[in-house]
Structure 1
Amino acid sequence: MEQALYRLLEQQQIRYQRFEHPPVYTCEEAARLIPDLPGAECKNLFLCDAKGRQHFLVAVPAAAGVDIKALGDALEAKGLRFASPERLKNYLGLEPGSVTLLAAVNDSGHRVEVVVDAELWAADAILCHPLVNTATLSVPVAELQRLLRHTGHQPRVMAVPRRG
């Protein structure tokens, strides 16, 4: 999967910088194990509504605490919650710890809505896992926009509600 992503990035002429590192599962581990990289650190959430009919890939600044209930209200998704590892594998082809905006490339059926926090989208570049948690790509936001357009995903850019 990772190699297919790199081929797609090359075909679409998407610019990025790649950094390898030990596996990271949380933003805290990433901050500790990965040196300062050029780009905004982000946290990615894979969420679904209570009935499992709507799915969302949400990206926010790494330090942001998300108010899931308020986000569900804003997205008109009742009972918004974290999706199971099985759903993550089924919808985005990922394992826990590898959730990334770049996973939109695996959603050819357009079953997942991409949501990006406006503050994050205003950055020059965003740090993204390349479908695995052993590397990080620094991708300029304009390049991410082009890639998401290519995949047929128009991100919903919004002020994602924060916790207290």
Structure 2
Amino acid sequence: MRESQPKTAEDLFNFLDGLGIEYKTKNHAPVFTVAESVALRDEMPGGHTKNLFVKDKKDNYFLLTVEEHATVDLKTVHQVIGAASKVSFGKPEKLMEYLGVIPGAVTAFGAINDTGGNVKVILDEALMTFDIVNCHPLSNDATTSIASKDLLRFMEATGHEPLVLKVTA
């Protein structure tokens, strides 16, 4: 089990500040689906994310961060991401243990909680063409905008080597 409490949005922002990474955060009512969050689009330019926490049969975990309207074929994506088998969704307990978030708040920023390197981070190539990427700051009642190049720096600073792959149709 997790030895410490998951990091908070404040911890995340302090970490980003320490890296000299610029970001902007907008608070809003909690959103649990892409459909609910579409209302924010006019106010927040850039690529908005959808995140899939998946695992293969050997219990290798992956976080797929893609553009919100993109389609991921769960029957074939394992071939692209290097999974040992077809993938299925990870359980909420593992999501909390590894990324420190609940379903509905899954985010690339969850990598800050994965100090054991249990999750392989995959950023979709199409998402990374945006200058700005928008992710939840560890909770689904806010959205944080960060430069896509800085998202890569963030991942590296958390000890993850993000793979930028074409995982969407």
- Give the TM-score taking structure 1 as reference length: 0.93
Following superposition of structure 1 onto structure 2, how do residues 141-156 of structure 1 map, counting pairs within 5 Å? 141-156=148-163
The question of 1:63 aligning with 2:76 is answered no
Alpha carbon RMSD of aligned pairs, Å? 1.3
Choose the corresponding residue for 2:107, options 100, 103, 106. Answer: 100
The verdict on how the C-alpha distance between 1:35 and 1:21 changes in structure 2, with shifts beyond 3 A counting, is farther
The verdict on how the C-alpha distance between 1:80 and 1:94 changes in structure 2, with shifts beyond 3 A counting, is same
- Contact 1:21–1:34, Cα closer than 8 Å, also in 2: no
The verdict on how the C-alpha distance between 1:27 and 1:72 changes in structure 2, with shifts beyond 3 A counting, is same
1:74 to partner: Cα distance: 2.1
User: Which residue of structure 1 aligns with residue 29 of structure 2?
Assistant: 22
1:73 to partner: Cα distance: 2.3
In structure 2, C-alpha distance between the alignment counterparts of 1:106 and 1:49, rounded to whole Å: 21
1:4 partner amino acid:
D
Large movers: runs of 4+ above 4 Å: none
- Contact 1:39–1:139, Cα closer than 8 Å, also in 2: no
1:102 to partner: Cα distance: 0.7
- Contact 1:97–1:133, Cα closer than 8 Å, also in 2: yes
Unaligned segments of structure 1, at least 5 residues: none
1:36 to partner: Cα distance: 3.1
- Give the TM-score taking structure 2 as reference length: 0.90
Choose the corresponding residue for 1:54, options 60, 64, 79. Answer: 60
In structure 1, C-alpha distance between the alignment counterparts of 2:40 and 2:130, rounded to whole Å: 22
- Contact 1:46–1:58, Cα closer than 8 Å, also in 2: yes
Unaligned segments of structure 2, at least 5 residues: 1-7
Aligned length: 161
User: Which residue of structure 2 aligns with residue 91 of structure 1?
Assistant: 98
For residue 24 of structure 1, give the secondary structure of its aligned residue in structure 2: coil
1:11 to partner: Cα distance: 1.2
Following superposition of structure 1 onto structure 2, how do residues 103-142 of structure 1 map, counting pairs within 5 Å? 103-142=110-149
- Contact 2:77–2:86, Cα closer than 8 Å, also in 1: no
1:57 partner amino acid:
L
CA deviation vs aligned residue, 1:81-138 (integer Å, no higher than 9, x gap): 1111111011111111111111111111111000011010111010010000000011
In structure 1, C-alpha distance between the alignment counterparts of 2:69 and 2:43, rounded to whole Å: 15
In structure 1, C-alpha distance between the alignment counterparts of 2:109 and 2:154, rounded to whole Å: 8
2:140 partner amino acid:
N
- Contact 1:70–1:161, Cα closer than 8 Å, also in 2: no
Following superposition of structure 1 onto structure 2, how do residues 71-82 of structure 1 map, counting pairs within 5 Å? 71-77=77-83, 78-82=85-89
1:160 to partner: Cα distance: 0.5
